[in-house]
């Protein structure tokens, strides 16, 4: 019997290892096959090419090519030649158009830097001209195994909550009821960071309910936002102060409101109302929502930046209003404020008619100016709309496939499963990046913890709605990376790259929220 027991104990780990290895191989093959399907490829005159500023791809791309040449006015075919800096080899194929996907060679190209050129070849094949060229990086698809978490999500959460609560700038709220700009300069983005104090202390109080101080801090932070909001009767009445002081880019935009920010503040007020039952916080959220109603454009959206004093647009850029939609939907569905339903419907209609057709998923950040289409894409709005489609897939069977395409876009452009071997926005090497990770936006193309959370939430919801286990595995790989990035004192760094020392409180709060959700499933 003892020999049999020893045999069983020896054979079980081997069997488990074999099963895990088989599952990993399956995920690798699935990822490889999926990478051969182009994401919303452009068609001249019909469907825009969204990737003009993209620098890395996992999924096979195609590129816009305005082929006009008097030397070869009527090409016989186009020759595609991709040079890999990894193995110093050329990979070629021919096609009838200059904007085909790179599928014939994509599976053969090694990961790394690629120089692509497309040539138009004359009918007699004696002449050819360069019609376009492009430098980009091919990066690794999802292919586990990835590092396991160094300890449980629950342990990481509790360590993080203790760090969050004990920060001097958090404790200062209890003493003064005001933001401590000296110890936490990111309070220059007032609504964002002060709102994160509310969310953080509610999270802390959930696990340490006997600590009344955390709720006192949450109330004081919320009361500060309310007291400093835009005054009644002003064009943006009751909207929170987005900028305070001149640190970083706050001075550049101090006269403006970025229109997606008040929705996040409203969600913080609702969470505080749920915990305390104090009506003033529900009323504060409703007042924000009402201002959204009377400032909404006839098209269904808002300008992304508006001057506080006049209510006029500060830029031509339009807001992708999915975060506003989510806020109004909570008020409508959970709190039964039906007056917001029309606004919700028009925002969704606008998204269908605009970014869902153009794939111009422009980033909307408090420290970045509005830009021209495709110049600064991000995964936030795209992944939020993917979540909307997944949650409403009962309305239309096509919603699932559209959501999966959006998720693929986000993964393609912003998730790095391995060090990508390229350079960030400022020319820094990516060799020291903590991966797996998720990049924030083209104008801040570095791994951020909150960006990882955004994709964890999206991948996990996709798993729940589609039952495809690869989405769960992707979510877990990123969640493990959050744990592994955590410092000994409990801090989860905002930037997962050397040379960046800013700590954004709101980002870590999002990481803690994700760990809270995942720890219940672990």
Is position 7 within any domain?
A: no
Residue entry with tokens 């959460």: 157
Is residue 50 within 8 Å of residue 56, measured between CB atoms?
no
- 29 belongs to a structural domain: no
- Co-location of 191 and 125 in the same domain: no
* Shared-domain flag, residues 164 and 212: yes
- Is 61 inside any structural domain? yes
384: helix, coil or strand?
helix
Residues 281 and 382 in one domain: yes
Look at residue 148 and tell me if it is in a domain. no
How far apart (Å, rounded) are the C-alpha atoms in residues 429 and 266?
39
Question: What stretch of H or E contains 452?
Answer: helix 449-466
Q: Of 94, 113, 138, which residue sits at a domain end?
A: 138
Is residue 16 in some structural domain? no
**CA–CA dist 366, 260 (Å, integer):** 9
Mark which of 138, 173, 204 sits at the end of a domain: 138
From first to last of the 522 residues of the chain, give the pLDDT tens digit. 666 656 556 565 555 556 678 999 999 999 999 999 999 999 998 999 999 999 999 999 999 987 778 889 999 999 999 999 999 999 999 999 999 999 999 999 999 999 999 999 999 999 999 999 999 999 999 999 999 999 999 999 999 999 999 999 999 999 999 999 999 999 999 999 999 999 999 999 999 999 999 999 999 999 999 999 999 999 999 999 999 998 888 888 989 999 999 999 999 999 999 999 999 999 999 999 999 999 999 999 999 999 999 999 999 999 999 999 999 999 999 999 999 999 999 999 999 999 999 999 999 999 888 889 999 999 999 999 999 999 999 999 999 999 999 999 999 999 999 999 999 999 999 999 999 999 999 999 999 999 999 999 999 999 999 999 999 999 999 999 999 999 999 999 999 999 999 999 999 999 999 999 999 876
Q: How close are the terminal C-alpha atoms of the chain, in Å?
A: 34
Angle between helices 168-176 and 190-207 (to 10 degrees): 90
Task: Work out the burial of residue 254: count CB atoms within 10 Å of its CB; fewer than 13 is exposed, 13-18 middle, 19 or more buried.
Answer: middle
Residues 273, 134, single domain; the answer is: no
Count of C-beta atoms within a 10 Å radius of residue 6: 10
Residue 383 lies in a domain: yes
- Residue 28 in any domain: the answer is no
Q: Do residue 124 and residue 222 come from a single domain? A: no
Shared domain check, 378 and 423: yes
Into how many domains does the chain fold? 2
CATH number at residue 251: 1.50.10.20
Residue 231 to residues 183, 306, 312, 504: CA-CA distances in angstroms? 28, 16, 17, 28
277 and 315 share a domain?
yes
List the domain range (segments joined by +) for residue 303: 153-519
Please tell me whether residues 384 and 476 are part of one structural domain: yes
Task: Please report, for the domain that includes residue 110, its CATH number.
Answer: 2.60.40
| Claim to verify: residue 469 and residue 329 sit in the same structural domain | yes
Q: Is residue 490 located within the same domain as residue 404? A: yes
Q: Is residue 246 located within the same domain as residue 218?
A: yes
User: Which residue among 92, 115, 138 closes a domain?
Assistant: 138
Q: Which residue has the tokens 């286990």?
A: 469
What the block records as the tokens of 263 is 């929705």
Are 128 and 191 in the same domain?
no
At 108, is the secondary structure helix, strand, or coil? coil
Other CB atoms within 10 A of residue 347 CB:
26
Tell me whether residue 292 is in a domain. yes
């Amino acid at each position: 019997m003892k020999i049999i027991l020893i045999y069983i104990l020896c054979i079980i780990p081997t069997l488990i290892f074999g099963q895990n290895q088989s599952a990993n191989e399956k995920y690798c093959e699935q990822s490889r096959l999926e990478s051969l399907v182009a994401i919303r490829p452009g068609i001249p005159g019909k469907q825009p090419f969204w990737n003009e500023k993209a620098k890395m791809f996992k999924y096979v791309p195609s590129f816009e090519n305005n082929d006009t040449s008097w030397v070869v006015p009527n090409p016989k075919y186009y020759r595609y030649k991709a040079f890999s800096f990894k193995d110093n080899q050329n990979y070629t194929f021919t096609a009838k158009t200059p904007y085909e996907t790179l599928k014939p060679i994509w599976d053969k190209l090694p990961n790394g830097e690629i120089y692509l050129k497309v040539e138009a070849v004359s009918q007699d094949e004696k002449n050819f001209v360069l019609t376009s060229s492009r430098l980009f990086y091919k990066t690794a698809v999802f292919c586990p195994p990835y590092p396991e978490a160094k300890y449980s999500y629950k342990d990481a959460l509790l360590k993080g909550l203790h760090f969050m609560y004990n920060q001097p700038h958090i404790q200062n709220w209890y003493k003064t009821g005001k933001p401590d700009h000296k110890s936490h300069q990111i309070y220059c983005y007032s609504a964002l960071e002060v709102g994160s104090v509310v969310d953080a202390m509610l999270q802390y109080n959930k696990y340490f309910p006997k600590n009344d101080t955390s709720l006192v801090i949450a109330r004081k932070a919320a009361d500060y936002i309310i007291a400093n909001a835009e005054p009644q009767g002003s064009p943006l009445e009751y909207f929170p102060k987005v900028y305070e002081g001149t640190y970083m880019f706050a001075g550049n935009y101090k006269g403006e409101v970025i229109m997606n920010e008040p929705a996040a503040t409203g969600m913080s007020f609702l969470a505080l109302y749920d915990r305390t039952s104090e009506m003033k916080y529900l009323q504060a959220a409703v007042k924000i929502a009402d201002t959204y109603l009377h400032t909404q454009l006839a098209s269904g959206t808002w300008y992304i930046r508006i001057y506080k004093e006049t209510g006029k647009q500060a830029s031509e850029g339009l807001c992708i209003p999915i975060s506003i939609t989510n806020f109004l939907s909570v008020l409508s569905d959970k709190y039964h404020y039906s007056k917001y339903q029309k606004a919700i419907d028009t925002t969704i209609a606008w998204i269908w008619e605009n970014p869902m057709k153009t794939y111009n998923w422009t980033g909307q950040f408090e420290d970045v100016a509005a830009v021209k289409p495709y110049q600064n894409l991000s995964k936030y709005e795209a992944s939020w709309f993917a979540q909307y489609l997944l949650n409403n897939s009962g309305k239309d069977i096509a919603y699932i496939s559209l959501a999966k395409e959006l998720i693929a876009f986000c993964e393609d452009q912003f998730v790095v499963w391995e060090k990508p071997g390229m350079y960030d926005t400022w020319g820094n090497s990516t060799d020291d990046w903590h991966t797996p990770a998720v990049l924030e936006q083209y104008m801040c193309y570095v791994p951020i913890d909150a960006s990882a959370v955004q994709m964890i939430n999206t991948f996990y919801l996709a798993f729940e709605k589609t039952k495809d286990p690869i989405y769960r595995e992707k979510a877990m790989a990123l969640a493990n990376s959050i744990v592994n990035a955590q410092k000994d004192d409990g801090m989860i760094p905002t930037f997962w790259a050397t040379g960046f020392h800013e700590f954004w409180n709101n980002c870590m709060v999002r990481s803690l929220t994700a760990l809270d959700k995942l720890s219940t499933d672990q």
